[in-house]
Amino acid sequence: MSTENEGAAVPSEAKPPTGQQPDSASASGAQTPGAPPAPGARPAAPPPPDFAPTVARAPGGFDEPGPMPPAYGAGHPRQPGYGHPGDDSATEQTSQFPTYSAAGPGAGAGGWGQQPPYGGGGDPWGTTGTPAPKRRNGGLIAAVLVAALVAGGVGGGIGFWAAGQNDGASTTVSASGDPGALNRKPTSVSGIAQKALPSVVTIEAQGATGDGGTGTGFIYDKQGHILTNNHVVASAANGGKLTATFSNGKKYDAEVVGNAQGYDVAVIKLKNASGAPLNPLPLGKSSNVQVGDATIAIGAPFGLSGTVTTGIISAKDRPVASSDGGGTSASYMSALQTDASINPGNSGGPLMDAGGNVIGINSAIQSAGNGGGLGGESQQSGSIGLGFAIPIDQARRVAQDLIKTGKPVYPQIGVQVGMRDTGNGATIAKTGNNGSDAVTPNGPADKAGLKPGDTITKLDDTVVDSGPTLISEIWQHKPGDEVTLTYKRAGKEHTTQVTLGQRTGDK
């Protein structure tokens, strides 16, 4: 899946971590010191911090594993099995973001079942009729055909014997057929899926050395730009091969326009869009989403393109740190949590609301497998109803920067904080990485009066319980925004106003 910041300390410039990292990370985009791994090589992932259980990202296929641990959410009590990917010594600098770990399996959504999730007895989707048949791969179809033939033989024998005993004793009842049941509403799951499927593509990425995987993306504009996860296309970003296949089976070559490791967002573009159905999906407002809202996810879990699932929004503003286990970068998001069924291959796909509007990009899951994530093939597991999506409000801003300049822009406060401590806030390190200043001289935090050893406990009205939470909350803003930080110094609580600075690029 995507890369992971292993809680690595972030110097003034973001670099993939190599080996053991210090115990602090930059709070506005931590980056890890050390040389990047050789092309095509997958460095061993450093052990995650003790507090952080892992969460799995959905790379996009069976062949792109990647455990990813989500950080504890602001204002939410820590949950077992959750955590920030990082070693004990991760530091974060707000002026530099920590590398993002690619999110786990793509998104699929868990369905409502036979009954709606709330009172009233009505179908929240307004669905009528039966759902469209699911696609199956060749192997599964062959198995079903064999079973059908065997069952048919047995059934024929019994039917012959029964006919000999009592002609006309059949109790079979034929459906009368209700034309209205087949007239599905545009706002039903079926109606939304039929409209959205032609705008969702299956992405195949292959690196120069042959590594890669499968993921999902969706049409962003009529110029042929497609929005997806960074960890889906990262292997093909430098000299690799990238293709996008539409629901009609037509495949197009594509190229990476820009990618942001820290946000786990990427934009690709079709090289020759002639004849491609470029119908952008409508973008909603993730800020308007409420817990309990219905969701629809479309993707290619385990390579099964065009898979549609449903669920609800289980939580909002869930700080998540995700990783693909490569040990080179991590991603942070203040995620939309959903019980939608998200599996490897769903990454980069749209999470939609009941109106068919995109409210997030499916990016990560919490897995029940070994290590809590989608590790190697022996560990790879599926959804347990804990999926995470990047809010579309943030993804849209990042996509605009990538299309305009090819580089991401990160807000920062200019401090390095400890990444292991949880529950009591984000504490500014006493000393920075490699002898640097923990508080950037003349940076936003320095101007606001923050000092090494201060513990940040709130950003505006959001409780900050850890370094990853602070990062994910800062990245919900844009450079130039003014935020209120609450912090403790020598046991006393203080507040200060901070105007966010910025850093351009991942390195």
- Residues serving a catalytic function are 231, 264, 347
Q: For residues 65 and 193, what is the distance between their CA atoms, to the nearest angstrom?
A: 28
434/414 Cα distance (integer angstroms): 16
How many angstroms from the chain centroid is the CA of residue 313? 14
User: 365: helix, coil or strand?
Assistant: strand
DSSP 257: E
Phi, psi of 372 (to 5 degrees): 80, 10
Triad 310, 100, 379: Cα angle to 5°: 60
The answer to whether the CB of 1 falls within 8 A of the CB of 103 is: yes
CA-angle at 211, arms to 206 and 217, nearest 5°: 45
**Which amino acid, one-letter code, is at 495?**
T
N-term to C-term CA, the chain: 20
Query: Where does residue 414 rank: exposed (0-12), middle (13-18), buried (19+ CB within 10 A)?
Result: buried
Name the DSSP letter for residue 80.
T
* 75 backbone φψ class: left, alpha, beta (φ>0; ψ -120 to 50): left
C-alpha to C-alpha distance for 396 and 335, rounded to whole angstroms: 14
Q: What is the spatial distance between Cα 116 and Cα 121, in angstroms, rounded to a whole number?
A: 7
The neighbouring-strand residues paired with 501 are 412
Distance CA 496, CA 445 (A): 9
Burial code of 22-59, b = ≥16 C-beta within 10 A, e = fewer? bbbbbbbbbbbbbebbeeeebbebbebbebbbbbbbbb
369 and 466 Cβ atoms separated by less than 8 Å: no
What element of type H or E holds 400? helix 392-405
Alpha carbon distance 84, 368 (integer Å): 16
